[in-house]
Structure 1
């Protein structure tokens, strides 16, 4: 893609202090996001994949400025929003919204749905007061819920319906980008399919851009146009969905994809199962070189000594590996 990204992380870093100390060098810091470069282009769905603890959710919250970054920059539509104050962030807050994994904890249980959805409209003066009731009914229609739902409390709905309310809350701001953090992992499989289809429908109808964070590779392949793979706070590989799923270039991506279940009736679709050996590094004390070196079956001396940078391959993908397939 030649167009400038809608949002971009540039050497983005987020650290958490695990243990403080007055003695220099004796404290302990966890780098949850480690110098990440990542771009999301207008109109696409970028699937962000990785094991639990890889830093996916932390990266999503840094991109939306829900948590502050330690270093690096978040650039939205050409503007660095990393250091903006409250007033300067208001347009950004309207344009970038987040959908959380558990709607039960992200929706205020003491407020009716109509109040939850109308509050951001009033705060940001998006619509005149007389138009807000009509806008609320429109939001309910967009996510497939009846207008009568506006008078009910979140606990009166099923999990899938609550997630639809969470989606409606994000849409209320008329955003350009939505960061969806594991939006279907807490739902039943049958409900997952309905919500995934809703995401696809809304993307077409409203010209939305998504950063879709998930660990379910089947869902990621269904919804994403591009995929980024994270491991211990770093991006290992990015590229087109079909390119990565059909021919992974990074050993970690290869191992992840080998674990995808396939139908018994389709033995041709099976991959060679890769069982990773070695120890998972301590996230607070990662290896000096490649973070995957302790589990990589192809590791060499260079991998232990030097961290690989994300490098482009001939097919356009980026891979952080010293010895990717030629």
Structure 2
């Protein structure tokens, strides 16, 4: 696939949950984004802002309430499960909890072989036992685990090794797109670096495209080519990683950057954010960030900012961008 082609696009995506008292929560609130072939789009934001929900919706692990999802030119928004089956071979997910995402009663080899048995090859034929065994060996080599790991159970591995197994399972069917949902947040710092480097190596080796969900900006800076900042169910800033993280235009993005511990802090500092993220059960008027924004003006309370393109190519949803 050409590097400039669009692998995945979402248009005005909304995911609503109904509560027992009749109220509704918009976990994803009108998001539009694109993921280009070969890129790593980092999705960042505070816990509870809807990052994981968005990732699951994009892969149709959850049905959306409104909007459109297009994958490799196909509208998959309302595809049936039968029609989605061949599509799912091209889009896979690595979950955050490496322990909970693996069946503790099955050996690693059985876990990795299952998708190879369920899905047929491109010619419609099922894989032979020899082909499956050969593919399992290839997967172990890709994620730097020994061949005898296939005969062991998930509890016999460390957290980092289990995450390598999850990555191997995601790669089993040679997907184009991998959505990684905070894949290193539960790991030690030294192990985090190893897994992030593995993601980077696999991207170069296999030509993968990633949607990399994280709250650690250091991890996002290391692996992402482009970044989208999410707040309360919506994208507030997006652009090339170095530009967004070194010269943030949205007050929320700048606040995230200033929250990162560093020995020496240079440049302009804004007052620290006060308060918590507003409840998604209450629809905000105007800018969704105005209640916490240190530079909010009266117009921010009533007027909803749309994503506007700046001169450096990025987009920001702010009436008074910090440029």
- TM-score above 0.5, yes or no: yes
* SS of alignment partner, residue 253 of structure 1: helix
Q: Is the 8 A contact 1:18 1:29 kept in 2?
A: yes
Residue 8 (structure 1) aligned with residue 9 (structure 2): yes
Q: Which residue of 1 is the match for residue 46 of structure 2?
A: 51
1:275 equivalent in structure 2: 272
2:34 equivalent to 1:39:
yes
Q: CA deviation at 1:130?
A: 2.4
Following superposition, the deviation at residue 279 of structure 1 comes to 5.4
**TM-aligned CA deviation for residue 178 of structure 1:** 0.3
Residue 261 to residue 132, structure 1, CA distance change in 2 (3 Å) = same
Q: Deviations over 1:116-148 (max 9, x none)?
A: 000100110233332110100110010000010
> Within 2, Cα distance between the matches of 1:235 and 1:65?
20
Shift of residue 280 of structure 1?
3.2
Query: Which residue of 318, 321, 326 corresponds with 2:318?
Result: 321
Give the Cα separation in 1 of the matches to 2:277 and 2:203.
37
In 1, the alpha carbon distance for the partners of 2:51 and 2:318 equals: 20
8 Å CA contact 2:271–2:294 kept in 1: the answer is no
1:268 to 1:16, Cα distance in 2 relative to 1, 3 A: closer
How many residues are treated as equivalent by the alignment?
317
Q: Once the 2 structures are TM-superposed, how far is the Cα of residue 78 of structure 1 from its aligned partner?
A: 1.5
1:299 aligns with 2:296: yes
Structure 1: give runs of 5+ residues left out of the alignment. Answer: 21-26
In the alignment, the residues of structure 2 paired with residue 158 and residue 304 of structure 1 have an alpha-carbon distance, to the nearest angstrom, of 49
Q: Which residue of 2 aligns with 1:181?
A: 181
Shift of 1:278: 4.7
Counterpart position of 2:136: 136
Q: CA RMSD in A?
A: 1.6
What is the TM-score when the length of structure 1 is the normalising length? 0.94
1:105 aligns to what SS in structure 2?
coil
SS in 2 for 1:107: coil
Question: Displacement, 1:88?
Answer: 1.2
Stretch deviating more after TM superposition (279-288 or 48-57): 279-288
194 and 313 in structure 1: CA distance in 2 versus 1, 3 angstrom threshold: same
The Cα shift of 1:301 comes to: 2.3
Contact 1:104-1:154 at 8 Å conserved across structures: yes
Q: CA deviation at 1:200?
A: 0.4
- TM-score normalised to the size of structure 2? 0.95
Question: Structure 1 residues 188, 271: CA separation in 2 closer, same or farther (over 3 Å shift)?
Answer: farther
Report the CA distance shift for 1:187/1:115 in structure 2 as closer, same or farther (over 3 A): same
In structure 2, do the counterparts of structure 1 residues 132 and 233 end up closer, same or farther at CA, with 3 Å as the change threshold?
Answer: same
Cα 1:300–1:288 change in 2 (3 A) is same
* Contact 2:42 2:220 survives alignment (8 Å): yes
Shift of 1:177: 0.4
Q: Where do 5+ consecutive residues of structure 2 fail to align?
A: 122-126
- SS in structure 1 of the partner of residue 99 of structure 2: helix
Q: How does 1:72-91 map to 2 (within 5 A)?
A: 72-91=67-86
Q: CA shift at 1:248, angstroms?
A: 0.3
Residue 286 of structure 1, CA deviation: 2.9
1:179-215 Cα distance to aligned partner (Å, 9 max, x none):
0000000111111111010000000000000000000
Deviation (angstroms), 1:300: 1.8
Structure 2 residue 92 is the aligned partner of structure 1 residue 97: yes
